[in-house]
A = this chain, B = another copy of it.
Amino acid sequence: MRKPTSPSVVHPALQLENQLCFPLYALSRMITKAYQPLLQELDLTYPQYLVFLLLWEHQELTVKELGEKLLLDSGTLTPLLKRLEQKQWISRRRDPRDERSVIIELLPAGRALHERACKVPEQIFAQLNITPAEFETLRTQLNTLLNHLA
């Protein structure tokens, strides 16, 4: 072991353990990592899974609509969606009524993923070791804060 470095005078608010941002950032990545082995069986990444959550509900959405719901821009979505298109899970086409928009449509193979994904949420929940009530409280708080910022 190296010698422990002497603690210097640091603003408490600048200590990692007092941050809100850090556990948020770390927890987000940890949760993504918890999804990874489950999603790997579906050949999906976590952001791709989020796109499918929306498409399973809506069948088709524009890139703009996906971006609004996921808070992601075209710089992230365009290459992601092209990869899903290559796998024949979605189609991309310009809206004939407004050629600026690109409509993303769920293809049969993409819809078929829904059935296989059904068990994912409960498997994740089991790993969290929290009660449904705690889950709800936290979800509500995070959504509230998100609405303040977004």
Q: A1-22 toward B: CB 8 Å interface, digit per residue (1/0)?
A: 0100111101101111011111
A145 beta carbon closer than 8 Å to chain B? yes
What residue of chain B has the Cβ atom nearest to residue A4's Cβ?
Answer: B58
| A149 x B121 contact (CB < 8 A) | no
| B142 x A27 contact (CB < 8 A) | yes
A20–B88 CA distance with the chains assembled, in angstroms: 29
| B16 x A135 contact (CB < 8 A) | no
Nearest chain B CB to A89 CB, angstrom units: 16
A residues near B, CB below 8 A? 2, 5-8, 10-11, 13-16, 18-32, 34-35, 46, 50, 53-54, 56-62, 69-71, 95, 97, 103, 114, 117-118, 120-122, 124, 127-130, 134-135, 137-139, 141-143, 145-146, 148-150
Q: Which of B10, B103, B122 contacts A56 (CB 8 A)?
A: B10
| B56 x A21 contact (CB < 8 A) | no
| A142 x B24 contact (CB < 8 A) | yes
22 A-B pairs with CB atoms under 8 Å apart are: A2-B62, A10-B57, A14-B117, A14-B120, A15-B57, A16-B53, A16-B69, A19-B139, A20-B31, A20-B135, A20-B142, A21-B31, A24-B142, A25-B28, A25-B32, A25-B46, A29-B71, A30-B149, A130-B145, A134-B141, A138-B141, A138-B145
